[in-house]
Structure 1
Amino acid sequence: MNNGIQSILVLGLGKVGHLVAELLLETDFQVSGGDLHIPSDISYPTITIDVKDSEALARHLEGFDAVLSCLPYSYNLEIATIACSKGIHYFDLTEDVPTTRAIIEMSKGAATILAPQCGLAPGFIGIVGSSLAARFDKIRAIKLRVGALPQHPTGLLGYAFNWSPEGVVNEYLNDCEVIENGEHKWVSPMEWIETLVINGIQLESFTTSGGLGTMCETFLNKVENLDYKSIRYPGHVRQMNFFFHELLMRENRELAGKILTNAKPAVSDDVVFVHASCEGWKDGQLLRDEFVNAYYPMIIRGRMRRAISWTTAASVCAVVEMVNSGALPDRGFLKQEEIPLEKFLQTRNGRLYGREKAEETW
């Protein structure tokens, strides 16, 4: 019997969290939101929660079938631990590798699903990459690239912090998992720089941490090369290497995040680039398949939503739908690469990835 989801608590009501709650409401879930500071434009029940208070958090989770964290990664392990102990389904958007490793250990024997990494990268990009790989008899390389960028970049960085500064700094400074020539390795971030062109726009990509999720474990001994890189406008990585390493800002990650967000605040006109490719053999022929797209802001529930917000929110909400319907397991650890892309895109939230015009509404 499927261990379904009716009521769900969304923790963290920033732009992504608020949209997650709205999308789940539209998908007929009973939704409540929790945050230390509740925004004024909320139409669903809310709870004022200080997630640093473990006892209070445990009390507030009582009665919910699931909890979905849209908070910075540093809070997620405690939330997952409490959810697991209470038999509550758990979802998050983290890219942090140690957090995910701890949740994997916790999931052994769990009575409910523990599903971190349900956002864009890790998350949707792993679902796409795995679906490409399934078409091949033998795989030579899986290459996954994602970038959330301003449509109209300015300055040498050509960037805007539309995502968590803690998460971005983490990705730029933590070592990166790869498979190279069949061997599982850890390599430095902001390396292996390459040029990409998407829709006639020249871009660069380079190694960053966390985007592969658990794919190295899944594809070890099945693929010769597997890596994830972030997409940016040309010249970005050179400036970031100067900032973090020559100016030694790597020694104070919190201050680095504050400086960067002050210099490059969020913009409304963003774009999310997704570039996934797989090389290998089909019927004895060496071939390459690609999934390449650019996603733009979209009107959802009467409001224009940033591309990074709706792509992230739609991804995790689609996974919640699939767990609830029985299309995915309802207990243990959920690997993103085990989610079938076709069924993902058939969910109500997954279908947002098939829309082409920002004027379309939910």
Structure 2
Amino acid sequence: MQTIAILGLGKVGALAGELLHDSGFAVHGFDAAPRGDLPFDVAALDVADDAALRAALGDADAVLSCLPYFLNIAVAQAAHDLGLHYFDLTEDVPTTKAILDMAPTAQALMAPQCGLAPGFVGIVGAHLIGQFDTCRSCRMRVGALPQNPTGLMGYSFNWSPEGVVNEYLNDCEVLEDGEIKWVSPMEWVEKIVIGGIELEAFTTSGGLGTMCETYRESVPNMDYKTMRYPGHVQLMNFFFHELLMRDRRAEAGEILVNAKPPVDDDIVYIHVAAEGEIAGQMQRREFVRGLMPLKIAGKMRTAIAWTTASSVVAVIEMVRDGALPQRGFLKQEDIALDALLATRTGAHYNA
């Protein structure tokens, strides 16, 4: 694997392309609105045009989709049919299940959910679970937030509005007492304090990826929640349910981004905790971080951009180097945390 096509050149896609370029890959970027400020070739592409999409991917060994989730199934199908490795950042459960169905007949690797959550957080969760003789619970929380929140919502839309709305409205898969269950989003609210900063966490969709199925026989309790500043979830429930914006998802995203546009000074909080027995003693293991913007390739990158891009590029490096399977479906929980952090790009998480 040497030549990679990247679809979607927003903050995350552009940075992923730069990181891949610096790691020795031949990168070809595609976007609806091409840009000329990147160190690799960029061309215009309408991904809704299947013939044009497949022609654009013809010279690649792999494709990385940094597109909104609803475009990924068609891209994955094209990659499958062309025998290309496929990577994406999706949090959407139906999209991932569709890709999982393609995997048995794939001639290359199908690897969705390679971002931050799902993605890196699942790798961390699996790392903690592996430290126990028996593990009774694993709780994974992630929050991408402004460092200096304003207003009652305390939020800025540094991530895809389509993805955020999707996470807030779709049902959430959990493990409870050994059973896979589906629960409502924006529920199970809890308080978390990281470095003296009080946060609230609540259920959102997609963050666990495939982990419930993987651990249903060994970890009886597992869930994923998004973290925000206190009061956020009450306002979002009012917005989506009392004002019925749940029925107008596209418009909801536009309203929210217009009200709370992106900021450069963000922070990504990660809080993963597992509990279980080690040598007969009940213990708890935690991975807690507050990750700030980082200077990469001479530019300051937002925390959400570099954490997401670094995770997927580190996985791609591991596939190239033979440290991960070359075909079939890749579960994030099958990726070793120490090996990912030892890659050129994964090492950013050690900063």
TM-score bracket for this pair, using the shorter chain length = over 0.9
Q: Does 1:283 align with 2:279?
A: yes
Q: Distance in 2 between matches of 1:219 and 1:156?
A: 38
Q: Does 1:219 align with 2:227?
A: no
Match of 1:206 in 2: 202
1:259 aligns with 2:290: no
Pairing 1:122–2:104 present: no
* Partners of 1:25 and 1:136 in 2: CA distance: 39
Residue 187 (str. 1) matches residue 183 (str. 2): yes
Q: Which residue of the partner structure matches residue 60 of structure 1?
A: 56
- Whether 1:19 and 2:15 are equivalent positions in the alignment is yes
Alpha-carbon distance, 1:188 to partner: 0.1
| Residue equivalent to 2:240 | 244
Correspondence for 1:113 among 109, 114, 131: 109
Task: Give the secondary structure class of the aligned counterpart of 1:37.
Answer: coil
Rounded to whole Å, the distance in 1 between the matches of 2:347 and 2:38 is 25
Which residue, 312, 334, 338 being the options, matches 2:334?
A: 338
RMSD over aligned Cα, in angstroms?
Answer: 0.6
Cα distance in structure 1, aligned partners of 2:252 and 2:348: 34
Quote the Cα distance in structure 2 between the aligned partners of 1:108 and 1:248.
40
1:286-305 equivalence runs, <5 A:
286-305=282-301
How far 1:43 moved relative to its partner? 2.5
- Partner residue in 2 for 1:312: 308
Equivalent residue for 1:87? Answer: 83
1:10 and 2:6 matched: yes
Residue aligning to 2:136: 140
1:31 aligns with 2:24: no
The answer as to whether partners of 2:175 and 2:181 remain within 8 angstroms in 1 is yes
Distance 2:47 2:16 in 1: 19
Alignment-mate amino acid for residue 39 of structure 2: S
What is the distance in 1 between the residues matched to 2:283 and 2:341? Answer: 25
What TM-score do the two structures reach when normalised by structure 2? 0.99
- Alignment of 1:325 onto 2:321: yes
CA displacement at 1:109 relative to structure 2? 2.8
- Counterpart of 1:163 in structure 2: which amino acid? W
What stretches of structure 1 of length at least 5 have no aligned partner? 356-362
- The AA in structure 1 aligned to 2:19 is L
Q: What percent of counterpart residues are identical?
A: 61
SS of residue in 2 equivalent to 1:58: helix
The amino acid across from 2:320 in the alignment is N
Check the 8 A contact 2:72/2:95 in 1, yes or no.
yes
Contact 2:275/2:284 (CA < 8 Å) preserved in 1?
Answer: yes
SS at match of 2:257: helix
Deviation at 1:39, TM superposition (A): 2.1
SS state at 1:145 partner:
strand
Secondary structure, in 3 states, of the residue corresponding to 2:187?
Answer: coil
* Per-residue deviation, residues 250-309 of structure 1 (Å, max 9, x unmatched): 010000000000000000000000000000011111110000001000111111000000
Using the alignment, how far apart are the partners of 1:322 and 1:301 within structure 2?
21
Residue 353 (1) aligns with residue 344 (2) = no
SS of the residue aligned with 1:240? helix
**Which ranges of structure 2 fall in alignment gaps of 5 or more residues?**
none
Regions of 4+ moved over 6 Å? none
**Secondary structure at 1:20's aligned position in 2?**
helix
| Shift of residue 181, structure 1, vs aligned partner | 1.1
Give the SS at the match of 1:212.
coil
